[in-house]
C-alpha cells in the first residue's frame, strides 16, 4: 500500500519557521523525484518545491525562493521542507507528491498568523 504521510504543520507567527516531513512507504522512494505543493482556501493548488532522486537538483516557486529549502533522506524514505521567514500568505495545506507516479499525501495544515 502506497503511503505519503505529511507532518510538522501547525500555527506559527510571521517570521517564524516550521519543518515539514513526508514519510513514504509502499514504493521505491529512492528512485522517485518528490515535490511539495500547497493549497490555500479558495485558491488553486500550486507547486512549491521539487527535488531530484538523489537530492542534487532542487527547484522552488519564486514566492518561496530564499526562504524554503527542500531536502531528502533516502535512507529514511523521507522528504523535508524547511520553511523560514514565514508570511501570512504561506498559510495553506501542504501536500507531498510523487511526480511520474501520481501519489499524494493527505496534507498538513500550516497557518501563519499573529
Collapsing DSSP to helix, strand or coil, 61 comes out as: coil
Q: What's the pLDDT score for residue 60?
A: 98
Q: Rounded mean pLDDT of the chain?
A: 97
Query: To the nearest whole percent, how much of the chain has pLDDT over 90?
Result: 100
Q: What's the pLDDT score for residue 17?
A: 98
- Residue pair 52/112 in contact by the 8 Å Cβ criterion: no
Gap between the terminal Cα atoms of the chain: 40
Q: What's the pLDDT score for residue 76?
A: 97
Along the chain (114 residues), what's the average pLDDT of each consecutive run of 10 residues? 97 98 96 97 97 97 98 97 98 97 97 97
Cell reading at 42? 479558495
Amino acid at each position: 500500500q502506497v503511503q505519503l504521510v505529511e507532518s510538522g504543520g501547525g500555527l506559527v507567527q510571521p517570521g517564524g519557521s516550521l519543518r515539514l516531513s513526508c514519510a513514504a512507504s509502499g514504493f521505491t522512494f529512492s528512485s522517485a523525484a518528490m515535490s511539495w505543493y500547497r493549497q490555500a482556501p479558495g485558491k488553486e493548488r500550486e507547486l512549491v518545491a521539487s527535488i531530484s532522486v538523489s537530492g542534487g537538483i532542487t527547484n522552488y516557486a519564486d514566492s518561496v525562493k530564499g526562504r524554503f529549502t527542500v531536502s531528502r533522506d533516502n535512507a529514511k524514505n523521507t522528504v523535508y521542507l524547511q520553511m523560514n521567514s514565514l508570511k501570512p500568505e504561506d498559510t495553506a495545506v501542504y501536500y507531498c507528491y510523487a511526480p511520474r507516479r501520481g501519489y499524494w499525501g493527505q496534507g498538513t495544515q500550516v497557518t501563519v498568523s499573529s
